[in-house]
Amino acid sequence: MGYPDQRFDVNLSILFTELPLLERPAAAAAAGFTAVELWWPWIETPTPPQAELDALKKALDDAGTQLVGLNFYAGQLPGPDRGALSVPGEESDRFRANIEVAADFAASVGCTALNALYGNRVEGADPQAQDALALENLVLAARAADRVGAILLVETLNKPESPLYPLVSAPAAIEVVDKVNAATGLGNAKFLLDPYHLSMNGEDLSQVIKAYAAKTGHVQIADNPGRGAPGTGDLPLERLLDELKDAGYAGWVGLEYKPGERPSADSFDWLPPSARAAG
């Protein structure tokens, strides 16, 4: 049990950001990891030139790293945005334009999890209309994910850092997951469980795991307070991951923490080198 018993991947949108995007897969590999994940790397466009997609695929392949998670276009992230799919007008259109691009890229690199960030509440917009738009777009995304053999992830964030984001509890995200699955009949919408966000919301983490492990498609971790590496805060992450495993979760655990002032490569001392390569 414990950390060596998990399948870890490195989120290259929060770790190794001191390097250009195309150098990050090799840096993760040099640190001993064989699996990585990414937020949508092109924050300015949902439809980057094919040459840029090809270059990222080559960087992943050359490094021998497997992409195991990818966000759909989510607006300015990092930045003020928390997704685009429930934002009426241009942002929703951009999300739709991205759906097949992201799904096709995922298929090209064998990535089987696509994360769709819900988006913030918009001043002056009817929350019910935003939720109806969200469901419409999530159904499209779930069908595209299914076409390439992937799951669709719906994530809970935390209210202190994302006050306009409506999914700030595990039950709120699960409700959306269930609605998408009911609408598509595909069953490929899953919960993205992140103990950092859930703990910031004051949720009982063991209870969440017990209730929703069966609906969980991906896990991301950071410690709290500070969103640093495991061991820098108070969360019993090793125990929580064991609880997830005991509850039947056998998927990836994404390292989505801030390395602090040190280089990213120096932030993995909590994890034995022998436990970094995913079998």
How far is 74 from 192, CA to CA, in rounded Å?
A: 16
**3-class state of residue 168 by DSSP:** coil
Residue type for 42, please? W
Structure tokens at 163: 């006050």
Residue from 91, 155, 203, 238 carrying the catalytic annotation: 155
Asked if 133 and 86 touch (Cβ cutoff 8 Å), the reply is yes
Query: Rounded to the nearest 5 degrees, what angle is found at the Cα of 166, between the Cα atoms of 162 and 169?
Result: 85
How far is 189 from 181, CA to CA, in rounded Å?
A: 6
Residue from 37, 91, 203, 256 carrying the catalytic annotation: 256
Catalytic residue check, 91: no
Residue whose tokens read 């064998």: 110
Enumerate the β-bridge partners of residue 216: 191
Catalytic residue check, 155: yes
Asked if 100 and 140 touch (Cβ cutoff 8 Å), the reply is no
Structure tokens at 250: 């056998």
Q: Which of 13, 171, 40 is nearest to 114 (CA)?
A: 40
Catalytically active residues, by annotation: 155, 256
